[in-house]
Amino acid sequence: MKPLSRFKCYSIILPAISVHLSPPSISLQHPRLYYVGATELRTNPRVSSSNLLDIVNAFTAYCYQRDLPNAMKALDSMQKHRLWADSITYAELIKCCIAHGAVKQGKRVHQHVFSNGYEPKTFLINTLLNMYVKFNLLDEAQILFDQMVERNVVSWTTMIAACSNAELNSKALEMLIMMLRDGVRPNMYTYSSVLRACEGFSILKQLHCCIIKVGLELDVFVRSALIDIYSKWGELQAALNIFDEMVTSDLVVWNSIIGGFAQNSDGDEALNLFIRMKRSGFWADQSTLTSVLRACTSLALLELGRQVHVHVMKFDQDLVLNNALLDMYCKCGSLKDANDIFTRMIVKDVISWSTMIIGFAQNGYSLKALNLFNTMKASGIKPNYITILGVLFACSHAGLVEDAQYYFKSMKVLYSIDPGREHYGCMIDLLGRAGKLEEAMKLIHDMKCEPDAVTWRTLLGACRVHRNMDLAEYAAKKVLSLDPHDAGTYILLSNIYANTQRWADVEKLRKSMRDGGMKKEPGCSWIEVNKQVHAFILGDKSHPQVNAIYQELNQIIWRLKEEGYVPDTNFVLQDLEGEQMETSLAFHSEKLAIVYGLMSLPKGKTIRIRKNLRICGDCHVFSKLLAKLENRSIVIRDPIRYHHFEDGACSCGDYW
């Protein structure tokens, strides 16, 4: 054996353990060299090898057992004796720190593996990078990344994904460019991460071209990410084209395309794709069912939602699916089903509670919503931004001004929640409904965020109710300055003019709309009968049973008039006279849908209508009287809230 150099390291090779001692601590008087397996140990004669091995063996065992407290004690002992384990063992310890959210301990591991000149492998540094990203310590991750001598595709992808998740979109794209300049080739995970950082359609198209160039466009992860981002930008046809480019053999891609259409409120196509998926032999998972429930929710298809519920039962007590079910039943107006699920849920999070609170509020049960909020607080669940929004909505639609003001003023103090535009909107709506228009104006001026078009439109709606022309015109100008092509504001102001017989102003507004190419959205109502959706538009005569519907509607109106119904011509928004006014009211889309429901659904079955525009006062009175006359429950969901008509009354208490 050759003489040993003063500056060489001496090793005892042990299976699966690599323990290192720094050169200054090595005595050269009695060097010994043993070969066992394929790992190295530098020994110090002043400390017995068995003691060193005991320390390292204990440390390794604790790391693999995920025993964090004892692993950290063993790490302190290793640090004291200048010992190191192998990279895989440290990686296990770092994973343990991540699982326990142990930031302090994770930083100690980082300090240890870089101490006394020890140079960890790139694999281990990448694990540390991932740890800092998981702890949302991006500055620490960036510092470590900048110090790396060698960066591989995992290093770059970890940082790009971190920037994308943190919505540091420009930085994520810059890092992709730096990665390419560094000669590192992005992989499918890199592209699927950076796609989420696209802030414009042009950048998305450039990235898509790069992906095609390197041949990754058909990779499952990349394809799914492309579908997701095109859907996010509302380019549903492009997303569908990517999906249809080849036969899809992966459920992840199916979930992306179904979810894309569901999130863009195209429930029809989402359901069609779900049917295609089932026919292709795929089984729905939690992600699929969540999207399908969202599609049912957007279309208010209660019966189809109940069929999906059967599939959900296979995933017993899945919190995300149960929350989606709650939302579907609430938004389809079936509070009994929603409450049954909520009561049976073993685990409830803040989303579960918030969904039920908002569900009660939107369906007109404001006091139940507020009582549930008190129960939620008693259970120890902390309210979030959405919860308080539901509470304010409940107060707004019940006229509880003082309660709403208390919750609004205390949300920051009690729950550390800063009021957002939606919270201000609820308060402005509440004050406006209560006729406190000056207070509503003051609140708008006191907003910490700049009032948007929706805020001013809310005030405009209140001005219509209380016929405050001056303030209405002021609010309308504010809306149109922010959104010059908002047809809804022109219509609302036109309605205000019509209600005060200012027909010349009405015509002037309509001319402005025609000149600007703006059109009034026609009132449309939908009803589900025998798993088919039937749509009705004001004055529409395309339905196969239109003659029978019109005949039945006329008979119902005469019967209601005998019960005291008088058509409210204040809701006629044209310069008509006498019987012309009543005829215009008679054929509103919700009336046609309700009559078709009476004709088609079994006696006693609830009639459920979805409407694209807010229900007018005349249709509201019509529905109340008809529900009593026919001893029938009628539920109408408009963009603002849900109306449950029973026995001559509405759940909104005529306050909508």
Using one digit for the tens of pLDDT, what is the confidence trace for 2-21?
A: 333 332 332 222 233 333 33
407 occurs within a structural domain: no
Provide φ and ψ at 16, rounded to 5°: 65, 10
Cα separation, 42 vs 23, in Å, equals 9
Nearest to 500 by CA among 559, 585, 573, 588: 573
Q: Per the structure, how many domains does the chain have? A: 3
Last residue of a domain, one of 304, 323, 347: 347
337 occurs within a structural domain: yes
Q: Is 31 left (phi over 0), alpha (psi -120 to 50) or beta?
A: beta
- What is the Rg, in whole angstroms, of the alpha carbon atoms belonging to the chain? 33
Which of 157-161, 329-333, 460-464, 640-644 tops mean pLDDT? 157-161
The pLDDT value given to residue 99: 93
Last residue of a domain, one of 460, 494, 515: 515
Q: Map tokens 């439109």 to a residue.
A: 457
Indicate the pTM of the whole model. Answer: 0.77
Lay out the sheet containing 649-650: strands in order across.
532-537, 524-529, 607-611, 634-637, 642-646, 649-650
Residues 314, 427 within the same domain: no
Question: Residue 584's pLDDT band (boundaries 50, 70, 90)?
Answer: low
Residues linked to residue 529 through DSSP beta bridges, in sequence order: 532
Provide φ and ψ at 256, rounded to 5°: -65, -45
Q: How far is CA 36 from CA 12, 22, 39, 41, 456, in A?
A: 7, 21, 8, 10, 79
Residues 489, 528 within the same domain: no
Residues 449, 532 within the same domain: no
Nearest to 56 by CA among 97, 28, 14: 14
395 occurs within a structural domain: no
Q: Write the burial class of residue 481 (CB in 10 Å: 0-12 exposed, 13-18 middle, 19+ buried).
A: exposed
**Could you give the count of Cα atoms lying within 13 Å of 507 in the half-sphere of its Cβ?**
5
Residues 544, 491 within the same domain: no
Q: Write the burial class of residue 448 (CB in 10 Å: 0-12 exposed, 13-18 middle, 19+ buried).
A: exposed
Instruction: Kindly report which listed range (45-54, 68-77, 207-216) carries the lowest average pLDDT score.
Output: 45-54
> With 60 as the cut, is the pLDDT of residue 582 above it?
no
Question: Residue 97's pLDDT band (boundaries 50, 70, 90)?
Answer: very high
Residues linked to residue 532 through DSSP beta bridges, in sequence order: 529
Amino acid in the structure at residue 60: T
Number of helices (H) and strands (E) in the chain: give both, helices first: 32, 6
Last residue of a domain, one of 315, 347, 379: 347
Residues 489, 539 within the same domain: no
> With 90 as the cut, is the pLDDT of residue 583 above it?
no
Domain that holds residue 426: 419-515
> Mean pLDDT in the chain?
85
Instruction: Kindly report which listed range (134-138, 245-249, 253-257, 380-384) carries the lowest average pLDDT score.
Output: 245-249
- The answer to whether the CB of 31 falls within 8 A of the CB of 12 is no
pLDDT, average across residues 566-584: 50
**Between 117 and 26, whose confidence is greater?**
117
412 occurs within a structural domain: no
Residues 126, 224 within the same domain: yes
The distance from CA 241 to its chain's CA centroid, rounded to whole angstroms, is: 25
Residues 235, 99 within the same domain: yes
Cα separation, 564 vs 207, in Å, equals 66
Residues 80, 214 within the same domain: yes
- The answer to whether the CB of 232 falls within 8 A of the CB of 225 is no
The pLDDT value given to residue 47: 52
| Torsion angle in degrees (nearest 10) through CA of 330, 334, 335, 338 | -70
528 occurs within a structural domain: yes
Nearest to 318 by CA among 276, 287, 277: 287
> With 90 as the cut, is the pLDDT of residue 260 above it?
yes
pLDDT, average across residues 493-515: 82
Residues 183, 202 within the same domain: yes
For residue 141, give the CATH number of its domain: 1.25.40
201 occurs within a structural domain: yes
609 occurs within a structural domain: yes
Residues 57, 133 within the same domain: yes
For residue 489, give the CATH number of its domain: 1.25.40.10
Q: Write the burial class of residue 588 (CB in 10 Å: 0-12 exposed, 13-18 middle, 19+ buried).
A: buried
- The answer to whether the CB of 134 falls within 8 A of the CB of 98 is yes
Residues 207, 305 within the same domain: yes
584 occurs within a structural domain: yes
Residues 338, 429 within the same domain: no
Cα separation, 43 vs 49, in Å, equals 7
Residue 24 CB contacts under 8 Å (≥ 6 apart), including other chains: none
